Amino acid sequence: MKHIVKIMALLVALSAVWISLLLTSVVPESYAWLLPLYFIVSLGCYGLSMVGIGLMQFPCCPQEAVLLQKDIIQAKDFLKTRGVDFGSN
C-alpha cells in the first residue's frame, strides 16, 4: 500500500473520531474543538524526539572517515592539475 493511502486513511479515521466526539457528549465541546490542535502539537513533539534520538544514536564510522579523507585528497589533487587554487591547505 502506498504511503499516501495510509496517511489519508489515518486522517479519515481521526476525522471520523473527532466528528463523533463533537456530536456526542462524551468529551466537553470546548475540549473536543482543541483535539486537532493537540494532535498536531503531539505529532510535532514526536517528530522532534525522533530527530533527537537519531542524532544521539548516530553511528560513528572510522573506516568511512578514512576513505572520505582519501577521496578528498584525490579530488584536491585532480583539481590542482586543472588549475584550481585552494589558497590554503
Write the DSSP string, 2-54.
-HHHHHHHHHHHHHHHHHHHHHSSSS-HHHHTTHHHHHHHHHHHHHHHHHHHH
In order along its 89 residues, the chain shows pLDDT tens digits of 688 888 889 889 988 988 888 888 777 877 778 888 888 898 899 999 999 988 888 777 888 889 999 999 999 999 999 888 877 65
Domain extents in the chain: 3-81
Q: What is the largest CA-CA distance in the chain?
A: 77
Q: What is the pTM of this model?
A: 0.50
CA-to-CA separations, 71 to 1, 62, 63, 65, in angstroms, rounded: 40, 14, 13, 10
